[in-house]
Amino acid sequence: QVQLVESGGGVVQSGRSLRLYCAASGFTFSNYGILWVRQAPGKGLEWVAVIWYDGSNKYYADSVKGRFTISRDNSKNTLYLQMNSLRVEDTALYYCVRLGSSWAIDHWGQGTLVTVSS
């Protein structure tokens, strides 16, 4: 079955960097676009970034543009999110999600928690 397992979260000081990982299994990773979606504590969901199936296109929410970089290694079935210049407002549970048909998410990971302290 499709599995997306996030890791790399933790507590980090404002201004520092962190790299998130998403290990995919149960499907042909190189055939699918993947997104990062985050959820601040007690808040709603927010789209963060997307990468096309072949890495040819990457797009970012305005809130993270210029600070976050999404990438993938299809040989390792792994997605990455490099987060630089972290801010307190980046504190959230970060989900790795698969892009399915019709521009919709069809599978979700369980998330990894990022806490940015001041």
Among candidate residues 74, 109, 105, the one with its CA nearest the CA of residue 3: 109
Single residue of 21, 47, 67, 113 touching another protein by CB under 8 A: 47
Question: Per CB under 8 A, does 104 bind another protein?
Answer: yes
DSSP state of 101: G
Q: Are 69 and 19 contacting, i.e. CB atoms less than 8 angstroms apart?
A: no
Q: Within 10 A of 9 (CB to CB), how many other CB atoms are there?
A: 17
Report the nearest approach of another protein to the CB of residue 75 (Å).
24
Which among 8-16, 24-32, 37-45, 74-82 is the span making contact with another protein, rule CB under 8 A?
37-45
Reduced to 3 states (helix: H, G, I; strand: E, B; else coil), residue 14 is coil
Question: Per CB under 8 A, does 116 bind another protein?
Answer: no
Report the nearest approach of another protein to the CB of residue 6 (Å).
10
Single residue of 22, 24, 95, 114 touching another protein by CB under 8 A: 95
Q: Within 10 A of 75 (CB to CB), how many other CB atoms are there?
A: 8
Residues forming the site for another protein (CB under 8 A): 35, 37, 44-47, 50, 57-59, 61, 95, 100-111
